[in-house]
Amino acid sequence: MNFESFGLHPSVAAGVAAEGYVTPTPIQLKAIPMVLQGVDLMGLAQTGTGKTAAFALPILHRLMQGPRGRLRALIVAPTRELAEQIHQAIESLGRATRLRSVTLYGGVGLNPQVQKLKRGVEIAVACPGRLLDLIGQGHVDLSRLEVLVLDEADQMFDMGFLPDIRRIVKCTPRERQTMLFSATMPAEIRHLAQEVLRAPQTVQAGDSVPAETVSHAVYPVAPHLKTALLLELLQHTDTDSVLVFTRTKHRAKRLGEQLAKSGYRAASLQGNLSQGRRQAAMGGFRDGTYQILVATDIAARGIDVSQISHVINYDVPSTPEAYIHRIGRTGRAARRGDAFTFATEEDRDMLRAIDRVLGTPVERRTLAGFNYRAQAPARDQEFARPPRQAGSYAGAERARGGGGPGTYARRGADKARATGRKRFQSASRPAARPQTGPA
């Protein structure tokens, strides 16, 4: 099966060819024909499955017919980064269509967005808050919207956007095509789907579990040794691009600085950065200027850097779903990836929950030669504090029937051997320094 079989408008097909897509991904195969028919869609898919093109291509195809200069398609996304990414995908895929897309999100000036809207656009990719502001000020009119996409709905729920989403939906016509994408399906998202979708078709990619192309390992470690372990691991691991997750903005910033000081091309991405610095960090990570990006969950949401070879959970995520989202950043587009999780004593329950989500216990590893008995240097006291446990998690785990015994299988190691990736070889330290990220 190839893209020709969808019968996309030649200008849209030209975009597919320009992007170098040859074979549709599973979600594209299932979703594109349905969306082209105009039905509502519920997509159970995480980033990395090709879901953006699954909705963008049929939207571009549809908009080739009908009026220009009027807002006809709206994609709502939780974060600015994701909105930018979707917008860029639409721009690349739709280059030959002359359709116009605008991003609408906060943290940047209102005026450029208003000017673009005034010049006329057919597509908007928006975050909820700024979109509502623009609607309130009369700059955005959704009354003739034809297609509405709610992307990463579970994340929008986590971020408290559901009331905003409902307000936005109320501004759109009842006669519209609606698509809702979510990596997980908590009850709140099911309710939202019932409200906004009409007789939806459901497509699922990845079964809400991480891609098979990712192998997982847990490194038990004392809290104060995490940074030392990370440095040691990086030194002995063959990595391309590494995305490191921390629990807080402060930890992301600090760890980014520590890595840069140690000679790595590292930057951090967290909510306290200005939009310009966020884009510099993202852009630098994408083009390889930075080999390591340290980020919080929210800042990293939807990051699409196809060559991410390693996701390292410096702090365990607060829910098993967050684990899936984090490691969804690697092993994309059928490349292999590794997900390493640093775990302290206090993280035991969360590890069990992750085992359950993965359907198999994660391999537990120790790094040969690493001094696990070292004392915490005084200046590292902040990092020595054990991570806070998310209160919500214990309940979630109980709801799942509790964790099993924490045995750790060898699956990850077997997989790793199968990939042929060179691990823990002699030091392959990244070259250049010094490079202070925009953090």
Q: Which is nearer to ligand AMP, 304 or 355 (CB)?
A: 304
Q: Which is nearer to ligand AMP, 48 or 220 (CB)?
A: 48
In whole angstroms, give the CA distance from residue 26 to residue 309. 22
In whole angstroms, give the CA distance from residue 152 to residue 68. 28
Site for ligand AMP, residues 282 to 321, rule: CB under 6 A: 304, 306
The verdict on 154 binding ligand AMP (CB under 6 A) reads: no
Residues 116-148 as b or e (16 or more Cβ within 10 Å = b): bbeeebbbbbbbbebbbebbeeebbebeebbbb
Pick from 53, 221, 311, 350: which binds ligand AMP (CB under 6 A)? 53
Cβ(298)–Cβ(157) below 8 Å: no
The verdict on 49 binding ligand AMP (CB under 6 A) reads: yes
The verdict on 336 binding ligand AMP (CB under 6 A) reads: no
Cβ(388)–Cβ(247) below 8 Å: yes
Q: Which is nearer to ligand AMP, 307 or 389 (CB)?
A: 307
Task: Please report which helix (H) or strand (E) contains residue 111, including its range.
Answer: helix 110-119
What minimum distance in Å lies between the beta carbon of 149 and ligand AMP? 12
Pick from 25, 184, 241, 330: which binds ligand AMP (CB under 6 A)? 25
Q: Which two tokens stand for residue 248?
A: 């807080």
> Crossing angle of helices 249-261/226-236, nearest 10°?
50
Report the SS3 class of residue 390: coil
What minimum distance in Å lies between the beta carbon of 130 and ligand AMP? 22
In whole angstroms, give the CA distance from residue 27 to residue 84. 21
What minimum distance in Å lies between the beta carbon of 51 and ligand AMP? 5
What minimum distance in Å lies between the beta carbon of 371 and ligand AMP? 39
Pick from 6, 29, 32, 47: which binds ligand AMP (CB under 6 A)? 47
Pick from 72, 332, 336, 415: which binds ligand AMP (CB under 6 A)? 332
Cβ(241)–Cβ(408) below 8 Å: no
What minimum distance in Å lies between the beta carbon of 27 and ligand AMP? 8
Question: Quick one: which segment of 46-54, 217-225, 292-300, 339-347 binds ligand AMP (CB under 6 A)?
Answer: 46-54
Q: Which is nearer to ligand AMP, 332 or 421 (CB)?
A: 332
DSSP readout, 65-97?
Answer: SS-SSS--EEEE-SSHHHHHHHHHHHHHHTGGG
Question: Quick one: which segment of 24-32, 98-106, 225-233, 353-361 binds ligand AMP (CB under 6 A)?
Answer: 24-32
Q: Where are the alpha helices (DSSP H) in 301-390?
A: 320-327, 348-358, 381-384
Q: Which is nearer to ligand AMP, 202 or 428 (CB)?
A: 202
Place of tokens 């590893």: 365
What minimum distance in Å lies between the beta carbon of 419 and ligand AMP? 19
- Other beta carbons within 10 angstroms of residue 283's beta carbon come to 13
The verdict on 226 binding ligand AMP (CB under 6 A) reads: no
Give the interface with ligand AMP as residue ranges (CB under 6 A). 21, 23-25, 28, 47-53, 304, 306, 332-333
